[in-house]
Amino acid sequence: MKYIIYCRKSTESEDRQVLSIDSQETELLALAKANDWYISNTYKESKTAKEPGRPVFNEMLSFIEKSKDDYCILAWNLDRLARNTMDGGMIIWFMDRGFIKEIKTPSKLYGNTADDKLMMGFMFGIAKKYVDDLSVNVKRGNKAKLEKGGWPGPAPLGYVNDKENKTLIVDKEIAHYIKKCFEYYSTGKYTIGELTNLIASEGMRSRNGVPVCKSNIDKLLKNSFYYGLMSKCGNSYQGNHEPIISRELFDKAQEVLTKKAHFKDNKHFFHLRGLFMCAKCGCMLTASNKKGHDYYYCTNGKGACSEHKHYLRSEILDEKVISLLDNVAVNEKWIDIAYEASKAKLKERRYKAGDIKETLLKQLENVRKKQSILLDSFVFMTTPKEIYASKMKDLNNEEISIKEELHKIELKENRDEAIADKIRDTFLEASRSKAEYINGTPEKRNTIANKLLWNLTIENQEVLSYQAKEPFNLLFNGPKMDSVSCLQGRKDWNLLKLSRNY
Segments making up each domain of the chain, as ranges: 2-145, 159-257, 332-346+415-499
Domain 2-145 adopts which CATH fold? Rossmann fold (3.40.50)
The pLDDT value recorded for residue 414 is: 78
**Burial track 256-291 (b if 16+ CB lie within 10 A, e otherwise):** beeeeeeeeeeeeebbbbebbbbbbbebebbbeeee
The pLDDT value recorded for residue 496 is: 39
The pLDDT value recorded for residue 478 is: 52
Region of 242 (left: φ > 0; alpha: ψ -120 to 50; beta: rest) is beta
Q: What is the DSSP letter of 326?
A: G
Using only the alpha carbons of the chain, give its radius of gyration. Answer: 39
User: Do 159-257 and 2-145 have the same topology in CATH?
Assistant: no
DSSP run (H or E) holding 138: helix 114-147
The pLDDT value recorded for residue 494 is: 46
Q: Is 200 helix (H, G, I), strand (E, B) or coil?
A: helix
The pLDDT value recorded for residue 73 is: 95
How do residues 293-331 score in pLDDT, each as one tens digit? 899 998 887 777 877 778 889 999 999 999 888 877 667
The CA-atom distances, in angstroms, between 297 and each of 3, 275, 276, 303, 458 are 95, 12, 9, 14, 10
- State phi, psi for 73 to the nearest 5 degrees: -95, 130
Q: Name the residue among 230, 228, 217 with its Cα closest to residue 257.
A: 217
The pLDDT value recorded for residue 487 is: 46
| Model confidence, pTM | 0.38
**Max CA distance (Å), the chain:** 112
Q: Name the residue among 5, 150, 156, 164 with its Cα closest to residue 71.
A: 5
- CATH architecture, domain defined by 159-257: Alpha-Beta Complex (3.90)
The pLDDT value recorded for residue 488 is: 43
The pLDDT value recorded for residue 489 is: 44
Sites in the chain below the pLDDT cut of 50: 261-262, 481-502
The pLDDT value recorded for residue 31 is: 93
